[in-house]
Amino acid sequence: MRTILSKYWIYFTIAILVLGAGWIWVSAQNTNSTKTLETAPQEGFLAPNFTLDTKNGTQLSLSDFRGQPVLVNFWASWCPPCKAEMPGMEIVYQEFQDQGFVVLAINVTHQDSLSDAARFVEEQGFTFPILLDAQAIASQAYQIRSLPTSFFIDQEGIIQQIVFGGPIPKADLHAKIEDLLK
Amino acid sequence: MFPVLQIGPLSIQTPNLVILLGLWLGLTLAERLAPRFGVDGDTLYNLSFIAIIAGIIGARLSFAAQSLQNFLDKPLSLLSPTPNMLDPVGGMLIALTASLIYGSRKKLALWPTLDALTPLLATLGIALGLAHLASGDAFGMPAELLWGISLWGARRHPSQIYEIVASGLTLWLIWPRANSARGMAGETFGRFTALSAGACLFLHGFRGDSTILANGFRLEQIIAWGVLAVSLWWLGKFYKKIEG
């Protein structure tokens, strides 16, 4: 077998490389470059839109912030890492909001106590919008399986990065937002 | 798709867990098979272990270097146990450097060592495919197929399963048989590289997340074609020697 291979190796190599080049050409004709036009809770896709009530009784949609970098963070008052990372989010929100950066903190109200969540927000004095997902609309659209989960969405509405779990270190949070603002 | 394993209050990222299991299995396999390549199993295990530790530290430092001011302001962030703050390219360069230093100190022969590492690399390839399946990354192009999977709002090529099958085949094809004569040093590594590059070239034709260049050409396929050409030429040199 080896002797045959060694005898005809050059022809084998040429055949493989020609076939490979042909496959590259065929694949190029079949390219589906519409990935970013599709909506899915996955990096490189358009972020699913949602409309939710805020803690203050108004309504907000993700689409209201098209053209701005957005951090969508899912949290609950019973989740220690969620509570640990939110003060850091407030700091970066204060620092970058004049550049258009927005934090949308979605409380998974369908799995949380609204009064506990409201007390935590008041104690901490968060100034970014707190949205209430009482019907699990956003949680389902984003396929939330663990808390906290954070989606970093760019100005075009495309998810650039997803972070499962937390707390996100402050330096990392800073770096990710600077990347979004580039 | 199963990106997170929730055990009580603990959220474990399934892809990372699968990679860790793959690493452990691959290391065990490489250590046991090393004598068939004429390499001491313990030395190979130590080399791999040093490379992994250096790779993790290097990946974190390289990530920090890219946002230096943020980490200078909050240096404790460097020690955070999150896997999100790793730069794979920087990590690989540091791992490679550490391996070369350890290898030269232990006077390890380059080609037999690379041959002996192939079972680890092929096992990691399978683990990577499983990790992609768990996370939904490395997804396929939309296609109406009987064997297609529903992912990210469309029916798609199960590219992650193709990846697992290709890596499994590669492992089978490079597996050193107990009773067969040992090949020339570097031959198994050459075969592994050619098979992996060939698989990448072929499978990226079905992927929905390739890097698209002008006229629809895919960057990953072009790089794989180049690697395949070099590894076939390299293997040709072995066969010429045998013929001679």
A128 and A109 in a single domain? The answer is: yes
Where are chain B's structural domains?
A: 116-243
* Residue A34 pLDDT exceeds 50: no
* DSSP code string of chain B: ---EEEETTEEEEHHHHHHHHHHHHHHHHHHHHGGGGT--HHHHHHHHHHHHHHHHHHHHHHHHHHTHHHHHHSGGGGG---TTS--HHHHHHHHHHHHHHHHHHTT--HHHHHHHHHHHHHHHHHHHHHHHHHHT-SPBPB---TT-EEETTEEE--HHHHHHHHHHHHHHHHPPPSSSPP--TTHHHHHHHHHHHHHHHHHGGGBSS--B-GGG-BHHHHHHHHHHHHHHHHHHHHHHHHH-
CA max distance for chain A:
80
Q: Could you tell me which chain A residue has the CA closest to the CA of B201?
A: A20
Q: B201 to chain A: which residues are within 8 Å by CB? A: 20, 23-24
Tokens 């540091």 belong to which residue? B94
A16 and A39 in a single domain? The answer is: no
A106 and A21 in a single domain? The answer is: no
A94 and A9 in a single domain? The answer is: no
A:B CB pairs within 8 Å: 136
Taking only the tens place, the pLDDT of each residue in A74-88 is 999 988 889 999 999
Q: A178 to chain B: which residues are within 8 Å by CB? A: 67, 70
Cα–Cα distance, B47 to B106 (Å, whole number) = 9
Q: In terms of residues, how long is chain A? A: 182
Q: Which one of B84, B156, B184 makes the best mutation probe of the A interface by having the most chain A beta carbons within 10 Å?
A: B84
Mean pLDDT of B160-175: 96
| Cβ–Cβ below 8 Å for A20 and B198 | yes
Tokens linked to B56:
């993790």
| Cβ–Cβ below 8 Å for B4 and A164 | yes
Strand pairing partners for A71? Answer: A103, A152
Checking ipTM against 0.90, whether it exceeds it is no
Q: Which one of B74, B149, B150 makes the best mutation probe of the A interface by having the most chain A beta carbons within 10 Å?
A: B74
Please name which of A5, A107, A16 lies closest in space to residue A56, comparing C-alpha atoms.
Answer: A107
3-state secondary structure chain A: CHHHHHHHHHHHHHHHHHHHHHHHHHHHHCCCCCHHHCECCCCCCECCCCEEEECCCCEEEHHHHCCCCEEEEEECCCCHHHHHHHHHHHHHHHHHHHHCCEEEEEECHHHCCHHHHHHHHHHHCCCCCEEECCCCHHHHHCCCCCCCEEEEECCCCEEEEEEECCCCCHHHHHHHHHHHHC
Confidence of residue B188 (pLDDT cuts 50, 70, 90): very high
Average model confidence (pLDDT) across chain B:
90
A49 and A23 in a single domain? The answer is: no
Cα–Cα distance, B157 to B139 (Å, whole number) = 8
Residue A145, Cβ density class (10 Å: 0-12 exposed, 13-18 middle, ≥19 buried): middle
- What angle, rounded to 10 degrees, do the helices at B41-66 and B14-33 form? 150
Contacts for B109 with CB less than 8 Å, ≥ 6 apart: B39, B185
Taking only the tens place, the pLDDT of each residue in A106-160 is 999 998 999 999 999 999 999 999 999 999 999 999 988 788 999 999 999 999 9
A72 and A148 in a single domain? The answer is: yes
Q: A84 to chain B: which residues are within 8 Å by CB? A: none
Taking only the tens place, the pLDDT of each residue in B70-126 is 788 778 778 877 777 888 899 999 999 999 999 999 999 999 999 999 999 999 999
pTM: 0.83
Instruction: Identify the pLDDT of residue A3.
Output: 66
Q: In terms of residues, how long is chain B? A: 244
Chain B closest CA to A63's CA: distance in Å?
A: 19
Instruction: Identify the pLDDT of residue B9.
Output: 61
A115 and A150 in a single domain? The answer is: yes
Q: A42 to chain B: which residues are within 8 Å by CB? A: 136-137, 139, 152
**Angle formed at CA B123 by CA B120 and CA B129, multiple of 5 degrees:** 140
**What letter represents residue B218's amino acid?**
R
Mean pLDDT of A85-101: 94
- Residue B106 burial (CB count, 10 A): 12
A6 and A51 in a single domain? The answer is: no
- Residue B135 burial (CB count, 10 A): 23
A105 and A117 in a single domain? The answer is: yes
**CATH code, domain carrying A80:** 3.40.30.10
Chain B closest CA to A58's CA: distance in Å?
A: 30
Pairing assessment for the beta strands A130-132 and A102-107 based on DSSP bridges: parallel
Mean pLDDT of A19-33: 88
A75 and A104 in a single domain? The answer is: yes
Instruction: Identify the pLDDT of residue B24.
Output: 94
A9 and A90 in a single domain? The answer is: no
What's the number of domains chain A is made of? 2
Instruction: Identify the pLDDT of residue A126.
Output: 95
Q: A27 to chain B: which residues are within 8 Å by CB? A: 204-205, 216, 218, 221
Of A24, A147, A163, the CB nearest to B225: A24
| Cβ–Cβ below 8 Å for B235 and A9 | yes
A4 and A51 in a single domain? The answer is: no
Contacts for B195 with CB less than 8 Å, ≥ 6 apart: B169, B170, B173, B174
Tokens linked to B47:
């080399």
A18: containing domain: 1-31
